[in-house]
Chains A and B, each alone.
Chain A
Amino acid sequence: TQLLEQSPQFLSIQEGENLTVYCNSSSVFSSLQWYRQEPGEGPVLLVTVVTGGEVKKLKRLTFQFGDARKDSSLHITAAQPGDTGLYLCAGGRTSGSRLTFGEGTQLTVNP
């Protein structure tokens, strides 16, 4: 059963545009992580959010955890070609080390 749904699955935009990626679930998670994966490599952690309503910023990337801790969003301002990659959200629960990954959003930023 797929517990985390990401949208859109594919996104192709021009350099300088803004975009938002969504990660939604019907389940509550104690933490939500966002990873970025580049071709031929493993995912790399961008951020972890743990409090409902929490907002974290990483340069041009803004991450938000929903108040009910069931959803999250990733907003990129003024996207650059270097932002191209597969963005994965992953939900964790209080007990155990298991992460449930979303299906990913493949972002392409064209120069």
Chain B
Amino acid sequence: DTAVSQTPKYLVTQMGNDKSIKCEQNLGHDTMYWYKQDSKKFLKIMFSYNNKELIINETVPNRFSPKSPDKAHLNLHINSLELGDSAVYFCASSQVAGSYNEQFFGPGTRLTVL
């Protein structure tokens, strides 16, 4: 059974389009995250939700909008895609909010904006 799953695995799209990435965890965790990993492999937090409530919102363009319909799902919608949005996006979850807790990562979604 996959613990944290993301769809799609690959996403190729044109500049200006709107796209969504979905994430689901079956671990029963309370906290979920979105990270962006750039071409240099630097992993940066974008958002975090705890029990469907936004708790971390980094300096991310407001073209990015996360949505958590329930605590097992955290989706990421991106409007008006730009070339610089090309990256690998990782969803993660942890049992509770707290930096001591192990974060379980999904396999990533490689987004390419042409």
Chain B positions 46-77 with a Cβ under 8 Å from a chain A Cβ: 48, 50, 55-56
CB < 8 Å A-B pair total: 72
Residues from chain A with a CB closer than 8 A to the CB of B96 are: 97
Chain A positions within 8 Å of B94 at CB level: 97
In the complex, whether A106 has a CB less than 8 A from a CB of chain B is: yes
Q: Across the interface, which residues of A come within 8 angstroms of B50, CB to CB?
A: 97
Complex: A101 Cα to B50 Cα, angstroms? 20
Please report which residues of chain B, range 19-50, place their CB below 8 angstroms from some CB of chain A when the two chains form the complex: 31, 33, 40-45, 48, 50
Interface size class of chain B, counting residues whose CB lies under 8 Å from the partner chain: 20 to 34
Whole-angstrom CA separation of A31 from B102 in the bound complex = 11
Chain A residues bordering chain B, tally (CB within 8 A):
27
Is B106 within 8 A of A42, CB to CB?
yes
Closest to A106 in B: B41
Please give the residue numbers on chain A whose beta carbons come within 8 Å of chain B beta carbons, in ascending order.
Answer: 30-31, 33, 37, 40-45, 48, 50, 86, 88, 91-94, 96-101, 103-104, 106
